[in-house]
Amino acid sequence: MSTPRLSQYLRGIHCFACETSHDPRTLLGVCQRCGMPLRVDYDLGAIRLKLADVAARTPTLWRYRELLPLEEGDEVSLGEGFTPLLAVEENVWVKDESRNPTGSFKARGMAMAVSMAKHLGAKKFSAPSAGNAAGALAAYGARAGLPVVVAMPDDTPKPFFDECALYGATIHRVQGTIADAGKFLREHGPKDAYDMSTLREPYRIEGKKTMAYELVEQLGGAVPDVVLYPTGGGTGLIGMWKAFDEMAALGWIPRDKRPRFVSVQAAGCAPVAKAFHEGAERTEAWVNAQTRAYGLRVPSPLGGFICLRALHDTHGTAIAIEEAEMQRATVDLASRSGIDVCPEGGAAWAALAQLRQSGFVRPADRVIVFNTGTGLKYR
Applying CB under 6 A, does 233 fall inside the site for ligand PLP?
A: yes
In whole angstroms, give the CA distance from residue 352 to residue 228.
Answer: 8
Nearer to ligand PLP, 115 or 235 (CB): 235
Using CB atoms, what's the residue nearest to ligand PLP?
A: 295
* Contact letters for ligand PLP, residues 289-328 (x by CB under 6 A): ------x---------------------------------
- According to the binding rule CB under 6 A, does residue 135 interact with ligand PLP? no
Give the Cα separation of 28 and 31 in Å (integer). 8
Cα–Cα nearest to 71, from 59, 61, 62, 80: 62
Could you tell me if 328 and 347 are in contact, meaning their C-beta atoms sit under 8 angstroms apart?
no
- Orientation of helix 210-218 relative to helix 235-250, angle to 10°: 60
> Which is nearest to 136 in space by CA: 98, 97, 163?
163
**Stretches 5-13, 34-42, 234-242, 315-323: which one binds ligand PLP (CB under 6 A)?**
234-242
Q: Does 283 bind ligand PLP (CB under 6 A)?
A: no
Residues of span 75-114 touching ligand PLP by CB under 6 A: 104
The string of DSSP codes covering 27-62 is ---S-TTT-PPEEEEE-GGG----GGGGTTS-SSGG
Which residue, 224 or 295, is less far from ligand PLP as judged by CB?
Answer: 295
| Alpha carbon distance 181, 137 (integer Å) | 15
Is residue 243 near ligand PLP by the rule CB under 6 A? no
232 binds ligand PLP (CB under 6 A): yes
Nearer to ligand PLP, 147 or 373 (CB): 373
Please report whether residue 144 would count as binding ligand PLP according to CB under 6 A: no
Exposure b/e, 148-172, CB count within 10 A at least 16 = b = bbbbbbeebeebbbebbeebebbbb
Among 234, 304, 346, 375, binds ligand PLP (CB under 6 A): 234
342 lines the binding site for ligand PLP (CB under 6 A): yes
What is the contact surface with ligand PLP in residues (CB under 6 A)?
Answer: 104, 130, 132-133, 198, 230-236, 295, 342, 344, 372-373
